A and B are shown apart, each in its own frame.
Chain A
Amino acid sequence: MSLFEVKNLRKNFGGLAVTDDVSLSLQKGDRIALIGPNGAGKTTFVNLVTGHLKPLSGTVHLDGQNVTKASPTQRVKQGLVRSFQVTRLFSEMTPEEHVALAILQRLGRSGHLFTNFKTMPEVVEEIGSILALLGLGGIARTPVAEIAYGQQRLLEIALAMALRPKVLLLDEPAAGVPSSDTVLIERALAQLPPGLAVLMIEHDMDFVFRFAQRVVVLAAGAIIFDGTPAEVGKDARVREAYLGSYADDRSVA
């Protein structure tokens, strides 16, 4: 049994099949990249597996349990965590508070009324170690609105780590980061626990080739390729999907 298994997932918007019989499985420690041209259905796929959209048919299993009908928050509690393509942080809070909130939530203490994370040594220690690991220790108490965008992206990863997921969906972790700083994101991703299964959506091919052991290509809602990074460039269907059928027709004519 795989750690994370999606079987025959289908979703239509009107008459258009945006997710067309997609099956995918992740094992412990997997590093998989999901790529595809614009409109291929990558975001829909993420929304389906995280529970934000209801599939027409198909199942999602997490760690042996069927979570197809579970709510998004239930899935997070069971270990399926996502990050966002566009940074979603609390602008008035500090990185320390962000990570604290994630840890407290994981520990089931986020509803406590009369305690304070600053008096919980184990929480303070964990916050410190996560922020230090990602090089955010120096700005732990600066409001997020005042820190650099690259640091905000790193904080997104810090939040995901603080929740200690089993499966992590990274939605374009380097989106909007200047190319000189992508190395920081890459370094942060290298710090993720080895046993964690990661599915990353990304456009930057160099990044994908360095990060992923396996590449899955989605086009028009269906998986058209599943293999190693070395093979993906040679695949005729992948090239067709990226170049478009128009170019293909012309070359035939």
Chain B
Amino acid sequence: MSETTLNPSASTPLWRRSVTRDLVAVLILAAVAVALFFLFPSNLALLTRIVAMMLLVLSLDLVTGYSGVATLGHATLFGAGAYAAGIVAAKFGITDPLLMLAVGALAGAAAGAISSLVILRGHGLSQLVLSIAVVSLAHEAANKLSGWTGGSDGLSGISPSALFGMFRFDLFGRTAFIMSVVLLLVVFVVLRIIVRSPFGMLCRGIKQDPVRIRAMGAPVYFTLVKMYAIAGAVAGLGGALSAIATKVVGLDSLSFTLSAEALVMLVLGGTGKLFGALVGTLVFVWFEDRVSAINPFHWLTIVGCLLVAVVLFAPKGLTGAAEAIWKRMRGARS
């Protein structure tokens, strides 16, 4: 066994390397966004919806992929952000888009922290059931409080004012798309930092063996509640973004269906990798859009087949499969 020691000077480049990688990742994402902006100028509304969805799936990745919490109720946090941003705009006249985003993030974080107190009581299957109960209760509450939420008609009357007082939310959705991409890039970088931080390592440790984490003297429950609050802020941003972009909030943003879809997108892209959440969402929504245009009757069947294929042949998702191929190619070359 060789006894190489790690000295501080050797580790600095490693740290720099991760900063370089972050920059490359951001540049790639920005390039993709710019390309999409010019290639599909008439689809910007759909693209903005995809970005809002990406925020939800990133948020789900934090609790499921990084921390090992099983949940089918994650739309609760998205819906909390969407309704909070919508209500302050429609009922209190707070229409500044950045303020609406901030309100959405706060509401999402609060919903995350509170719902985690329930969900984290269970483990495995009971945890899944609790998460479904949480989203069902939230859905029913929003339905009943129709004075605030518009009930099943949805919350309308949201008219966000111009961004920075200069850029109005135009009919083609250009402002909304650009704002959503910038928001996504900021969230992505912040999450990259968080998942590599001591806290992020702690969460990964909890996912793999909570008993060992306790034996190190670290709190498991509190750490997960904190992660849930962070994830809630991210999902809440997604909800607020969707409220700003579509100017309406419906009960579907607080549904079991949306929660399940988010999980499907995450599994498709690959769990425990931030890129996986982005790729999974983009591919799923794009595929769904294409297939439903080609065959409006059997598109759900085809989407189902795609998922079965991914789970069977690429259990680590699309990014996991790509990584494996990349490794094999590098291995063959050396």
**A234 interface residue, CB < 8 Å from B?**
no
* Contact across chains for A89 and B194 when beta carbons are under 8 A apart: no
Which A residues are CB-close (under 8 A) to B202? Answer: 101, 105, 110-111
Q: A84-B215, A90-B205, A131-B5 are in contact. List 6 more A-B contacts (CB 8 A).
A: A84-B212, A100-B201, A110-B218, A128-B5, A139-B1, A163-B217
Checking A97, A114, A132 against B201 with a beta-carbon cut-off of 8 angstroms, the contacting residue is: A97
**B306 interface residue, CB < 8 Å from A?**
no
Q: When chains A and B are docked, how far (Å) is the Cα of A163 from the Cα of B215?
A: 10
Which B residues are CB-close (under 8 A) to A131? Answer: 5-6
Which A residues are CB-close (under 8 A) to B199? Answer: 110-113
* Contact across chains for B198 and A137 when beta carbons are under 8 A apart: no
**A124 interface residue, CB < 8 Å from B?**
yes
* Contact across chains for A137 and B217 when beta carbons are under 8 A apart: no
* Contact across chains for A116 and B208 when beta carbons are under 8 A apart: no
Checking A93, A111, A132 against B223 with a beta-carbon cut-off of 8 angstroms, the contacting residue is: A111
Q: When chains A and B are docked, how far (Å) is the Cα of A121 from the Cα of B14?
A: 13
**A214 interface residue, CB < 8 Å from B?**
no
* Contact across chains for B198 and A82 when beta carbons are under 8 A apart: no
* Contact across chains for A90 and B216 when beta carbons are under 8 A apart: no
Query: Which parts of B147-202 form the interface with A (CB within 8 Å)?
Result: 193-194, 196-202
Instruction: Assess A93 versus B214: contact at CB under 8 Å? Given A110-B199, A127-B6.
Output: no
* Contact across chains for B216 and A88 when beta carbons are under 8 A apart: no
Which B residues are CB-close (under 8 A) to A113? Answer: 193-194, 197, 199-200, 230
Is the interface on chain B under 10, 10 to 19, 20 to 34, or 35 or more residues? 35 or more
* Contact across chains for A129 and B5 when beta carbons are under 8 A apart: yes
* Contact across chains for A125 and B7 when beta carbons are under 8 A apart: yes
- Residue pairs across A and B with Cβ atoms less than 8 A apart, 29 shown, are A72-B215, A73-B218, A76-B214, A88-B212, A89-B212, A90-B212, A93-B201, A93-B204, A102-B216, A105-B216, A109-B198, A111-B226, A113-B194, A114-B194, A115-B197, A116-B198, A118-B12, A118-B15, A124-B7, A124-B11, A125-B7, A127-B6, A128-B6, A128-B7, A137-B2, A138-B1, A138-B2, A139-B1, A159-B216
Query: Which parts of A214-249 form the interface with B (CB within 8 Å)?
Result: none
* Contact across chains for A73 and B214 when beta carbons are under 8 A apart: yes
Q: Provide the main secondary structure of the chain A interface.
A: helix
Which B residues are CB-close (under 8 A) to A100? Answer: 198, 201
* Contact across chains for B198 and A110 when beta carbons are under 8 A apart: yes
**A91 interface residue, CB < 8 Å from B?**
yes
B7-29 interface code vs A (CB 8 A; 1 in, 0 out) = 11001101100100000000000
Is the interface on chain A under 10, 10 to 19, 20 to 34, or 35 or more residues? 35 or more
Checking B4, B8, B197, B211 against A116 with a beta-carbon cut-off of 8 angstroms, the contacting residue is: B197
**B289 interface residue, CB < 8 Å from A?**
no
**B41 interface residue, CB < 8 Å from A?**
no
Instruction: Assess A77 versus B208: contact at CB under 8 Å? Given A111-B199, A124-B6, A137-B2.
Output: no
Which B residues are CB-close (under 8 A) to A77? Answer: 217
* Contact across chains for B3 and A132 when beta carbons are under 8 A apart: yes
Please indicate which of the listed interface residues A82, A106, A115 has the most CB atoms of chain B within 10 Å of its own CB: A115
A65-88 interface code vs B (CB 8 A; 1 in, 0 out) = 000000011101100011010001
* Contact across chains for A101 and B198 when beta carbons are under 8 A apart: yes
**B219 interface residue, CB < 8 Å from A?**
yes
**B252 interface residue, CB < 8 Å from A?**
no
**A117 interface residue, CB < 8 Å from B?**
yes
* Contact across chains for B205 and A93 when beta carbons are under 8 A apart: yes
Q: When chains A and B are docked, how far (Å) is the Cα of A97 from the Cα of B4?
A: 16
Instruction: Assess A104 versus B217: contact at CB under 8 Å? Given A88-B209, A90-B208, A121-B8.
Output: no
Which A residues are CB-close (under 8 A) to B12? Answer: 118
Which B residues are CB-close (under 8 A) to A76? Answer: 214-217
Please indicate which of the listed interface residues B1, B15, B18 has the most CB atoms of chain A within 10 Å of its own CB: B1
Please indicate which of the listed interface residues B18, B193, B216, B218 has the most CB atoms of chain A within 10 Å of its own CB: B216
B60–chain A nearest beta-carbon distance, Å: 19
Checking A82, A129, A135, A163 against B1 with a beta-carbon cut-off of 8 angstroms, the contacting residue is: A135
CB-CB nearest in chain A for B230? A113
Q: When chains A and B are docked, how far (Å) is the Cα of A92 from the Cα of B68?
A: 13
* Contact across chains for A96 and B208 when beta carbons are under 8 A apart: no
A138–chain B nearest beta-carbon distance, Å: 4
Q: When chains A and B are docked, how far (Å) is the Cα of A96 from the Cα of B11?
A: 12
Which A residues are CB-close (under 8 A) to B196? Answer: 116
Q: When chains A and B are docked, how far (Å) is the Cα of A116 from the Cα of B199?
A: 9
* Contact across chains for B198 and A115 when beta carbons are under 8 A apart: yes
Q: When chains A and B are docked, how far (Å) is the Cα of A186 from the Cα of B176?
A: 64
A95–chain B nearest beta-carbon distance, Å: 11
